[in-house]
Every structure is written in structure tokens, then in C-alpha cells.
Amino acid sequence: MVYNTLLQQVQDVIQHSIHNNIMQEQVEFVVEPAQRGYGDVSSNVAFLLSKRLRQSPAQIASRIVDGCHTSSEGLIKSIQAHPSGYINAYADWDKLTQIILTASTQDGYGSMTSDQSCIVEHTSVNPNKALHIGHARNVIVGDVISRILKKAGYTVKVLNYIDDLGLQVADIVLGFKHLKYDMESPLGVKFDAYCGDTVYVNTNIQYETHPELLDIRNRILYNIEQGDTDDARMAEQITRQVLAAQLETCWNLGVSYDILNFESHIVLSGMWHEIFDRLKSMKITKFETKGENTGCWVINDKVLVRSNGTATYMAKDIPYAAWKVGIIPDPFKYVEYEGQPGSTLYQTTLQDGADMSFNVDMVITVIDSRQSNLQNIITNILADMGSKKYIHLGYEAVTLSRKTATGMGIDTDGQAQMSGRRGIYVGVDAVYKALYDNAHHETSKRNPKLDSHALHLISHALSVATLRYEMIRQDLGRAITFDMDTSTRLDGDTAPYILYSYARACRILERVPNFDHNCTPNLNEQKERELLRLLSMYPLVIRDATSNLSPKVVARYCHDLAVAFNAFYESCTIIGSGKYESGRLYLTEAFSIVMYNALSVLGIDAPHKM
């Protein structure tokens, strides 16, 4: 890691000076990339020592700098004490420039090595409806986290939990069986959207005027959980059709999985009974004999098993989590699920199939923050059983701006939070189509000679990039208000802005495909240095994104890199700049390679023209 080498050299020089001139004992401090105008690396070590030495930070900084000795073979040109007390180091850019350009254009730049393994579970949308824009954040966050961990060298298995039991499945079985909805979706309507928008929503409306249907729903739920019943077989048929349609949506966004885990298999495998016995023996759950939960098994006042013997969501989540962390043996076999582009997808089965190993060091479950209480309970239960591998990665909800909601056909007062039960949502497929149509229109207007296939590829890449970037550019703890117009602008913090900077670089390189890579780059302008500095920090970005499980770190880097390149492009002539041309083309090439790689970590495929 280029910049990390510079950081380490600065830290070693400062540490050596402290040891020789200030104190013998080891001092813990950090060095970090400096703010603009204050060198290349800064340290606040003088502030940390001020109280102990009873001197001002400025005095201590001067003493440390006086004792700093740099090697002519290193990357440090000079070290200076700032009057404020900070120590600022300046890089030898003649050396650093060549190292950065060489390293950043090599295969695997930014990749790390690790012997760690991890499960990432995400998506987990109930198979009774289409994915809405709120689900998109889960899908995309989970996918990007798995890509970041793979870039960091982790062995990653990606799981999608299919909740093919539960009340929401009983609802659609009731709708088809008792309310006589057609088992075929209307022409031009995907089956998942038909189930969610028509069958599920209207069935829930019927409960309000026909409460006797609730008893039928409960009987259906019981029958589904027993397994070998007509209701269970009908539920499997419907949920498998919905799942196939949902996966088409996810695959279209460039998302892939390794395993599909079915809740019905978890229940029928006996895992639940094993965990339930443990919970009772460890006195984690108790049987209520009075109050509103009479006849129920509860944990922290949360119902685990209803009085009629059916299990709640939590009861099914606990054995699944215990299986993921390896507390209980794997009862499943695995067979291929056909259709996933680019990689093999497996699904659980209780019949014949292959064995798989899931002995991992970390389990990450991506679920929205509204489930934090339940996830905390599960985390504590697993810890009581001896496992501390489980991590809940939460995120806040997605809402639509008023303008976007109205434009997508949602009647809302202000902002609309997604609700599948009430039918208040915009499907991911609908958002993708709107983004695609906009990208297709704008691209064809700017490139009238593009053939239809190239136009489609660019439009698809732009629409997927826009949706992905909007879902991960914010902190996970911050709610998103998705606005169609803002997200598709060519300026500001948007995917089109970033992709345009990449396409601009590609156009430059197409004009001069062969330049001298063995040149001595003359890259001494401020905008050139700023771009070089950012290129050198890409490995640190991957490290930080991994340690913080933060997609935003990579997204922010891509935007900063685009800003830096555009500033370089605007201030420095590239083609036709004489002795500077080869070096600036080399810098442009390095930018294009690093940007393409960073975007791929976000699951974004960058087109060469827009």
C-alpha cells in the first residue's frame, strides 16, 4: 500500500526521535493524511505529550522535528513543526509519483489478503410480493458488503433467507384458495407484483369486513407448518413462483447469492426443536400462565411460540442464526438452483444433495434498524450459547420524495414510507424502468449514432449504477429520501457524475492509445498531486470500509476521485501538452483503472461512453 508506506515511514521517524530525544518509553500515536496546505502526512503526537511533559504542543513538536532524520532512500522529503503544534511531513513526490502510477495500474491494486471467512445474509424478502424500493437498500448494502469483504481477502458465502412460512404466506394461500384469485398473473404483470399488489393487499382488506377469515388464515398457517398438507404444497408452489420473479429483479441489479435457505426446511429439519429445548433448559424462555401471553412461550416479553403452538418470526430466526454461527450441526443437503448468471447458486433441501461447510469466523445479517431489538435478543442468546460471531448490520428506511412518489403513482402527503401490506410502495422494477427510460433518452440524445445494443448496455449500466449509488452513499444509520431527478443529475454527488468522469478519461485515452509508460512524469501541479494522492489511498479506503463495514467509505472515495480528476482535467492540458503529455496520460490511465475497480466493488459497471 503506497500511502501506507509513507505513513509508516513518518511514524517510524517520529517515534525514533521521541525515543532518542524526549523519552525512552513507547508512545502510542497515529499519523494520518494531512489536510490540504499542511503537507502530506500529519501527526498530533505533540498534543498527546503536552500534559505529561508540561510543555506546549508547539514546543514539543519543535523538539521532535529537530531530532527527526530521514533517509535519502525513503519517501519523506522533509518534516516540519507547525506553530499550532502539529507535525507535518512532506513527501518526496519525484519518487512517490512513479511508485503510485506503477502500483495503481497493476492488477489487484487495493486487494488485501486474509485467512478470515464470513457469511453475509441479505435480501430475505418475504416471497409474497415484489421487491419495493425499501428492500433495495438491504439488497444493495448486503451485496456491496460482500464485495468489500472479498476485496479484503475474506472467503465469503452470501445467503438469502426465504421466509416461505408465516402469516404473509398464509394470506396469499387464502387469497388464491378461498377468495378465488386466478393462479396466473395478468399479461405483462410479473407474478411477484401480482401476488403483492392484488392478492396480498386485497386479502388483508377483506379481514376488516370478514373477520371470520382470520380463523381460516390461522388454520392455513398451521397446515403449512406441518409440511405434508395440501396447503403446504400450494404454499410451496406460490412462493417458488414469487421467488423466481424476485430473483430476476436482484440479478438485474448485478446481485448474486451462494445459498438460498428456506424457512420451511429449517422448521421441518428439527433444528427448531433442538434450539427450543436448549432455550428451555437454559431458562432463556419461559411459559406464561397469566396475562395477555397466557399459554405462550416468551423471551423478554416477546412471544416465541403462540398459545396455538405456531412459532413466531423470532422462533424461526433463532435456529437459523444458531446454524449460521455453527452452534448446531448442518441438517441440510444442497442442490443447484438454476438461472443465476455468472455463478452457481445452491438451495437447501431435506432430500439427497451435496454437503457444504459453513465454519466461518463472522456472520453478518443485514436487516433494517426496526429489527434491532429482535436482533439484539438473538445476539445475546447466541452469546449465552457460546458464540460471539454474530453481527447485525442495520440500516434506516427508504422514503420517496413527494415529487418522485407522485410521479410513480403513489398518493402521499409528504414522504411515503414503504408498506407492502397497505400497498404503499414503488417496486424496484418500476424504479429501474423509470431510470432506464431516462438514461436511454439522454444517451441517445447525446450519442445519436449509437447502435441499439450499445444504447441498451449504457442505459442499463446507468440505471443500475444510479440505484446502487443512492442506496449506499449515505451512512447506514441515516434514512434515505430517494428522488428521481436529483439522483440522475450529471453534477453533484450522483452516480452519473462519477460515471461521466470515467467516460471522459476513456475518451482521452482512446485518442492517444499508445504513450510512453517509461517516461519520467512531470506531475508537479497542485491538481495533479491531489489526484495522485487520492489514487495512492485506495488500499486504505478498502481497509477502512472493511473494518467499519461501511459501503459509504468506497462510495465517498469514488466521488472524491471523480472531483479530483475533473479538477485536474479542467486545470491541466493533457493531449498536446508537450513534455507533460505522457505523464498526464499515465495519470489519466491510472485514474480510469482505479475508478473502474472501485466502482466494481460497489457493483457498478462503468461504461466507456455516456
CA 482 to chain centre: 17
Q: Would you state the torsion angle of the CA atoms of residues 597, 602, 607, 610, taken in this order, to the nearest 10 degrees?
A: -130
Is the CB of residue 269 less than 8 Å from the CB of residue 331?
yes
3-state secondary structure (DSSP) of residue 290: coil
The structure's pTM equals 0.93
Q: Would you say residue 75 has pLDDT above 50?
A: yes
Calculate ∠ Cα 104-110-116, nearest 5°: 160
Three-class SS state of 61:
helix
CB 27 within 8 A of CB 18: yes
pLDDT tier at 419 (50, 70, 90 boundaries)?
low
pLDDT-based confidence at 413, cuts 50/70/90?
low
Euclidean distance between CA atoms 542 and 559, whole angstroms: 15
pLDDT tens per residue across span 250-270: 999 999 999 999 999 998 898
* pLDDT band at 519; cut points 50, 70, 90: confident
pLDDT at 25: 81
In the predicted model, what is the mean pLDDT of residues 396-419? Answer: 72
What single string gives the DSSP state of each residue in 109-145?
Answer: TT------EEEEE-----TTS--BHHHHHHHHHHHHH
In whole angstroms, what is the distance from residue 439 CA to residue 432 CA?
10
- Positive or negative torsion for Cα 365, 369, 374, 379: positive
Q: What share of the chain is helix, strand, coil (3-state, %, to 5)?
A: 50, 10, 35
pLDDT recorded at residue 415:
44
Q: Which of 150-159, 178-187, 409-418 has the lowest mean pLDDT?
A: 409-418
Looking at every residue in the chain, the average pLDDT score rounds to 93
Can you tell me the mean pLDDT for 60-68? 94
In this structure, the number of other CB atoms found within 10 A of the CB of residue 69 comes to: 9
Q: What residue type is assigned to position 214 of the chain?
A: L
Answer whether residue 392 shows pLDDT above 90.
Answer: yes
Using DSSP bridges, classify how beta strands 416-417 and 398-400 pair: parallel, antiparallel or unpaired: antiparallel
Extended beta strands in 355-455, E state: 362-366, 390-393, 398-400, 416-417
Residue 324 has pLDDT above 70, yes or no: yes
pLDDT of 417 higher than 60: no
CA atoms of 465 and 498, how far apart (whole Å):
10
Residue ranges and CATH numbers for the domains of the chain are 2-91 (3.30.1360.70), 117-394 (3.40.50.620), 429-601 (1.10.730.10)
Cell 413462483, residue located: 241
| 540-597 per-position pLDDT tens digit | 999 999 999 999 999 999 999 999 999 999 999 999 999 999 999 999 999 999 999 9
pLDDT of residue 416: 47
For helices 495-511 and 551-571, what crossing angle results, to 10°? 50
pLDDT of residue 289: 92
Query: What is d(CA 9, CA 69) in angstroms, rounded to the nearest whole number?
Result: 11
